[in-house]
Amino acid sequence: MTPAARLQAVIDLLTEIDETPRPADAVMSAYFRNRRYIGSKDRTAVAQMAYAILRRHARLGWWIEWAGYERATPRARVLAYLLLEENRNAGVVLEMFSGGKFAPARLTDDELAMVGKLESHTMDHPDMPETVRVECPEWAEAAMRASLGDRFGVEMEKLLEAAPLDLRINPLKANQQSAIKALAKAQITAETTRWSPLGLRVKGRPPLGSVDAFKDGLVEIQDEGSQLVALAVAPKPGHQVVDFCAGAGGKTLAVAALMKNKGRVVACDVLDKRLKRAAERFRRAGLHNIEAHPLTSERDPWVKRHKRKFDRVLVDAPCSGTGTWRRNPDARWRQLGPGLEQLLPLQANILDSAARLVKPGGRLIYATCSMLHDENEAQVEAFLQTHHDFIVKPVSEVWAEEEAGAPPVEGPYLRLTPAKHDTDGFFAAVLERRAEETVSEESVSDVGLEQGEVDPVELGKAIDA
């Protein structure tokens, strides 16, 4: 593809993302799958520019408005990006928007006027509001400021960067050093991660799908922070474990591998399709201690039938996803699923119901990929007020038991942030049920959905859309 043709592909791709109610990565995958004639280098170049523009959504929009252009269309954003970020001059831009074969159409008079105003400027401007500069959407500003305090600026700036590519080794098939050697055979450079004893950080963005180490199940793609959440579960060989919101099975895989294929892991989700997609990952990893069980809701009768049967119950709750903005920049601006007002009661309902599965002396692990206090500490505190038979197990104690080295955080909870830990933003709380119960279980745990509660199946469909 010519440089001009690549630009038109970026415009087309951004248009599809704007018009399709699905996450940007899913839209991109479908876009390239339907255009197999686009070579690998061109796909990489188009995707990289599209993501770069998505990461600068607010700033480009601010400049486009500053220049007096009517709205931030995909064409306008590409034009502004070329001028402000790539520092192209107006003459070069005019040549690329030539209207020739496969090239973008010629600039309109209004676009020419915008180009003239933006030329010679850079992405930053002293009049730009802080929330625009750090790409914080209005809906999240107050909650992010409340959660991050004086670290709001530094954490939000870190969230502007592209996320690194992390892998988790499969301890049934490899260790860190043997996996590094296997990847090196495919000319892939990797090094051990700072916090996770199972992690590798890969240089660049190699096509892992064709690499033997990946195809043979030696490694899985998983952010280091997500690996640490799985470590916080601290499962033992022979344990009975539930991953209550298993999704595509990333943490399920990690937990089952830590159990050395011994015991039983039940992967649950309200979306059966997710569990079916995860089955191939389980097979590739050589794990046979996992069984999938779809749920009709968090109050599925299966939960009541298995009360107090499990040593570990992981609740990786549906959340705002603010901790994943590095890899999902479009999620800041496009509400494809439920908002906070729906997520908060859903999280509380899921946590309350899943707690019924924990045996005395067992543990309930509540986790999100959110950086918001309301979805994290506040949920745990509210749960403890009505479930007096659970206590917080500090992360430092879990790490000491697992001999996992120095814990990555101080305090009772696992709270990871991009600027502090160079991981996605994650939260996890380990809640242990007292071995000798002195308080009766709350009767609300065994009832169905009350009037005004959220239907998790409908929300699940929205999240997966």
Q: In 3-state terms, the chain is what percent helix, strand and coil (to 5)?
A: 50, 15, 40
For 369, residues 6+ apart whose C-beta sits below 8 A from its C-beta are: 225, 226, 319, 321, 322, 323, 324, 424, 425, 426
DSSP for 388-403, please give it. TTEEE--HHHHHHHHT
| 300 burial level (CB within 10 Å; 0-12, 13-18, 19+) | middle
For 2, residues 6+ apart whose C-beta sits below 8 A from its C-beta are: 102, 103
Q: Residue 232's closest CA among 382, 375, 412, 352? A: 412
User: Phi and psi dihedrals of 454, rounded to 5?
Assistant: -90, 135
Beta partners for residue 243, in sequence order: 267, 314
The residue with tokens 């998505």 is: 54
Helices 456-464, 340-354: axis angle to 10 degrees equals: 120
Does 369 participate in catalysis according to the annotation? yes
The residue with tokens 């206590």 is: 391
For 453, residues 6+ apart whose C-beta sits below 8 A from its C-beta are: 345, 349
The residue with tokens 């001028």 is: 83
Note the Cα 180 to chain centre separation in Å: 25
Bin 45: left if φ > 0, else alpha if -120 < ψ < 50, else beta: alpha
147 in helix, strand or coil? Answer: helix
For 64, residues 6+ apart whose C-beta sits below 8 A from its C-beta are: 71, 72, 76, 77, 80, 114
Distances in Å between the Cα of 141 and the Cα atoms of 23, 30, 284, 418 are 21, 32, 41, 17
Q: CA-CA distance, 10 to 61, in Å (whole number)? A: 17
Beta partners for residue 414, in sequence order: 428
Q: CA-CA distance, 35 to 5, in Å (whole number)? A: 14
Beta partners for residue 314, in sequence order: 243, 365
Beta partners for residue 290, in sequence order: 265
Enclosing H/E stretch for 140: helix 138-148
Identified catalytic residue from 136, 245, 268, 369: 369
Report, as residue numbers or ranges, the catalytic residues.
369
